[in-house]
Amino acid sequence: AQSVSQHNHHVILSEAASLELGCNYSYGGTVNLFWYVQYPGQHLQLLLKYFSGDPLVKGIKGFEAEFIKSKFSFNLRKPSVQWSDTAEYFCAVIFLSGYSTLTFGKGTMLLVSP
């Protein structure tokens, strides 16, 4: 079955540390890739997305992600995190076969200490 894996369930960082959250998916075909963020008490918001083209995607709030097709990965990065980045981060994939739905990873809870 098509699935999305996020390797870290919880990540704790100090402010100014660099962040990398892993995301892998199991599917050899064409995909659309997303990272969503859910701040405490708020709704899911799109951080960035990849449909095609440059595999290095820049999103909001200084986040970026790199699509590596050979590794089925779409890792999220930020050079220097802030306390306000404390949130849960979800990787999501649309597997483009017929009518496809958005499949989410189980999320990574990021806690940034000031």
Partner 1 sequence: KAGVTQTPRYLIKTRGQQVTLSCSPISGHRSVSWYQQTPGQGLQFLFEYFSETQRNKGNFPGRFSGRQFSNSRSEMNVSTLELGDSALYLCASTRTGELFFGEGSRLTVL
What is the smallest separation between the CB atom of 25 and partner 1, expressed in angstroms? 14
Site size toward partner 1 (CB under 8 A) is 22
What is the smallest separation between the CB atom of 106 and partner 1, expressed in angstroms? 4
Residue 111 binds partner 1, judged by CB under 8 A: no
Q: Smaller CB distance to partner 1: residue 55 or 79?
A: 55
88 CB-near residues (< 8 Å, 6+ apart): 37, 38, 107, 108, 109, 110
Distance separating alpha carbons of residues 43 and 36, to the nearest angstrom: 10
Q: Rule CB under 8 A: which of 74-103 touch partner 1?
A: 90, 92, 94, 99-103
Helix, strand, or coil (residue 3): coil
To the nearest 10°, report the CA torsion of 53, 58, 64, 70: 0
- First CA to last CA across the chain, in angstroms? 41
Query: What mask of x and - would describe binding to partner 1 in positions 28 to 67, judged by CB under 8 A?
Result: ----x-x-x-----xxxxx--x-x----------------
Chain residues that interact with partner 1, rule: CB under 8 A: 32, 34, 36, 42-46, 49, 51, 90, 92, 94, 99-107
